[in-house]
Chains A and B, each alone.
Chain A
Amino acid sequence: MREGRDMLKVKSRKKLSEKVAPLQKCSIKVRVNEKDYEAIVEPRLLLVHFLRDVLGLTGTHIGCETSNCGACTVILNGKSVKSCTMFAVQANGSDILTIEGLAKNGKLDPIQEAFWEHHALQCGYCTPGMILSAYALLSRNKNPTEEEIRIGISGNLCRCTGYQNIVKAISSAAEKMRR
């Protein structure tokens, strides 16, 4: 209770809430694939729609739009997140990596290469999200077991491959990256 009373004493209380007054439009700054962007967005705009429709980065796919399939996975400040389950305003000030930012100077990332070599995609719809989940896994675990790989991609559904080749590709990418 004491703490509560102290709070009541805060003189600038009204000012405080003005500083963070609710807004109908928000200005955001994000860094996507090492490029800075600024935009004014409606708070209800989902991050995936911001990436696809505002920035034109359509490599991030929308599979289910209900937080289940992982096709919309991007890397936000180093962590994999489902961009359909986050508002663009929440990403204000963040560093985002989408599938478009993975290849460097025209050279595929080792994970992309491994997906190609191991035939880890058929229709390719799940692939951007799958690769970014693999990227998140390999950035904190350089030598994952098969089980760890399967857990790592458990938030990503693939309706074509049956996962076998995806697991093989991630394992082989890990090996390549360790060399």
Chain B
Amino acid sequence: MGKDLYMIPKSFEYCAPTNLKEALSLMAKLKEDAKILAGGHSLIPMMKLRVLSPRIIVDINKIKELSYIKVKGKNIHVGALTRHHEIESSDIINKYLPILSDAAKVIGDPQVRNMGTIGGSLAHADPAADYPPITLALNATIKAKSLRGERKIMASKFFLDIFTTTLKPTELLTEVIFPLPSGKSGGAFAKFERKAGDFATVSAAVQIALDERERVKSVGIGLGAAGPKPIKATKAERLMVKKKVDDNLIEKVAERAKEEAEPISDLRGSAEYKKEMIAVYVKRALKKALERAKAM
């Protein structure tokens, strides 16, 4: 390939802080001029296409304190810099949050999973990304820090629009906090993709908790690629509370979730088609979540 054909981003300045304080000071100083570089697997492709041309890149990959998965009290804390591969292969995640490993396993391909991070995926807020609907289903909390302090944001308040979140340019997403499922509970993520490694055509995330009589104690349903931002299917959720789940109810819930979705037609399918698929994938995720809950 001739060099004149290379895809080269616009020039930028680079810095790589080695701890959180340095990073936050830099962000406070540089504000809109700076962009965070985490796994780079959304940012670098956009810079190559010159959709984005930040003046300064703050590479956070050297901040080791941002990479962890740990159980603390009633929550699981995942550091922003935790790679998809680390989530996919974490015993803690596999045991307590199989819904998250379902997703981590099907994000892109092995090379993408070796680099991409959970913080980057959420901050990027691609409507077709896999983690966002899961944060909705699990009622996760997203922690953001700036030099001025820290904010805890409910996932349902975090995503504002296509590629837009409530994060300010001076804020770093540092952690995702997932409530530790307890009792008879289970979750699953179902993704419809055209081919291995593709972004979702549609996806559904369901986390469910049952009481001792196997009635629904609580349920969270998140939909991906179903609108400009990930959608929490709250009406569908409401249909389930305190009910015993049978095929009839599953059918109804899937239909309701479909009504809550507002997908657009694109190269992955027409809006109508995607709506039908949302019903199918909600059903699949729900059945799997139920199976896992009952096995607990």
Contact = CB atoms under 8 A, between A and B. Distances in A.
B22 A49 contact: no
A34 interface: no
A13 interface: yes
A85 B145 CA distance: 27
Interface string B96-123: 0000000000001111101100000000
B81 to A, nearest CB: 13
Interface stretch (B24-32, B124-132, B202-210, B275-283): B24-32
Interface string B174-211: 00000000000000000000001100000000000000
Nearest to B17: A20
A13 B25 contact: yes
Contacts of A24: 11, 13
A63 B24 CA distance: 37
Nearest to B55: A22
A65 interface: yes
Interface in A1-23: 1, 3-5, 7-8, 10, 13, 16-17, 19-23
B45 A85 contact: yes
Contacts of A127: none
Interface string B41-81: 10011011000000011110100000000000000000000
A145 to B, nearest CB: 15
B111 A80 contact: yes
B231 to A, nearest CB: 27
B1 A62 contact: yes
B291 interface: no
Contacts of B3: 53
A4 B112 contact: no
A85 B41 contact: yes
B45 A66 contact: yes
A31 interface: no
A155 B44 contact: no
Contacts, number: 128
B114 A80 contact: yes
Interface in A27-53: 42-44, 46, 49, 53
A70 B197 CA distance: 12
B7 A20 contact: no
Interface stretch (B133-141, B147-155, B161-169, B260-268): B147-155
A16 B13 contact: no
Interface stretch (A86-94, A96-104, A166-174): A86-94
A16 B22 contact: yes
Given A7-B24, A20-B22, A81 B1 contact: no
A86 B145 contact: no
Contacts of A60: none
Contacts of A23: 13-15
Contact of A4 (B26, B58, B61, B148): B148
B44 A86 contact: yes
A130 B245 CA distance: 46
Contact of A86 (B1, B10, B40): B40
Given A19-B22, A86-B44, 15 more contacts: A3-B150, A7-B21, A7-B24, A10-B21, A17-B25, A21-B15, A26-B14, A44-B9, A66-B45, A67-B45, A85-B45, A90-B59, A137-B110, A152-B110, A155-B112
Name the 5 nearest CB pairs between A and B, nearest first: A155-B109, A4-B149, A43-B14, A22-B13, A1-B149
